[in-house]
Amino acid sequence: MAQVFSATTSMRTKEGQEETSTKRIILAGPTAPLPAERIMSIKPTKFTTEPLQLQCEWMECRFKTTVMQVYMEHVACHVPAVEVHMHDAQDIQVFLYCRWQDCPWKTDKKAEDLQRHLYLHAYHTKLKCIGVNTRSRSAVKSCKADPGNRNILPDLAENLVCAWDKCSQTFINIQSYYDHIKAHCDNNAKGKNVEGGIRCRWAGCSGSFANIVKLKDHMRSHTQEKLLACPTCGRTVF
């Protein structure tokens, strides 16, 4: 269950704003798992090329796994399975706080926003794992940037929408979104030099590519999918 506080707090006020006693603060704590159907909706993923040492950074939780699918399911379990009912909502503001290490994110909207945000942490953690691997393979100098910012993520206010052809499927889980788009790409003629080329069917795009690998690479310009992240400062690399 989420912990509900009505006292002042300085825990998550990185921007320096004060939480007054008129605000009710809901700290989203370790909670009951999500309903089965939500977990079932996460598509299986294979990461065969990069070994992943995925660790949860939610509060004191240090759950570890090497399997992205298991990791995503685990991370989603931290979303509070509680509905917030406000009877006297006039001057009370309710916030759901992300309790991921060094993440200042919060929402005054709904648990679904926190769930989407946590999937972004899962994806970002995967990128940082690939960053660790990449660093160990090459002579990259270690990063001197502030590690305190490593888990600050861009805001993802809406579910992601697939704009491939007439698909329009929506995703709360950014990794599932990327996997889904890769499946669209894989659903084309194989070969190094496909005759006539493979067309990109993303809305408004008329690009044509020699093969599936090149199409997938191009898709990243539509989806902003990143290759890796710096494990020290969290900065993503396109």
CA pair distance 17, 234, nearest whole angstrom:
25
For Zn ion, the binding residues in 40-69 under the rule CB under 5 A are 56, 58, 61, 63
Sheet with 94-97, edge to edge strand ranges: 3-5, 24-27, 94-97, 106-107
* Least distance in angstroms from the C-beta of 61 to Zn ion: 3
In the bound state with Zn ion, the residue whose beta carbon lies nearer, of 58 and 119, is 58
Q: Which residues in the 146-175 window bind Zn ion by CB under 5 A? A: 162, 164, 167, 169
Stretch of residues binding Zn ion (CB under 5 A), selected from 44-52, 85-93, 95-103, 126-134: 95-103
Closer of 21 and 148 to Zn ion (Cβ): 148
Angle formed at CA 211 by CA 208 and CA 213, multiple of 5 degrees: 110
The region of 3-11, 43-51, 123-131, 196-204 touching Zn ion under the rule CB under 5 A is 196-204
CA distance 108 to 102: 19
Amino acid found at 208: S
By beta-carbon proximity to Zn ion, the closer residue of 92 and 140 is 140
Place of tokens 């040492």: 53
Element (H, E) at 198: strand 198-199
* 206-to-35, 41, 65, 199 alpha-carbon distances in Å: 41, 31, 40, 7
Does position 145 interact with Zn ion (CB under 5 A)? The reply is: yes
| Residues near Zn ion (CB under 5 A), total | 21
Residue numbers of the site for Zn ion (CB under 5 A)? 56, 58, 61, 63, 98, 100, 103, 105, 143, 145, 162, 164, 167, 169, 200, 202, 205, 207, 230, 232-233
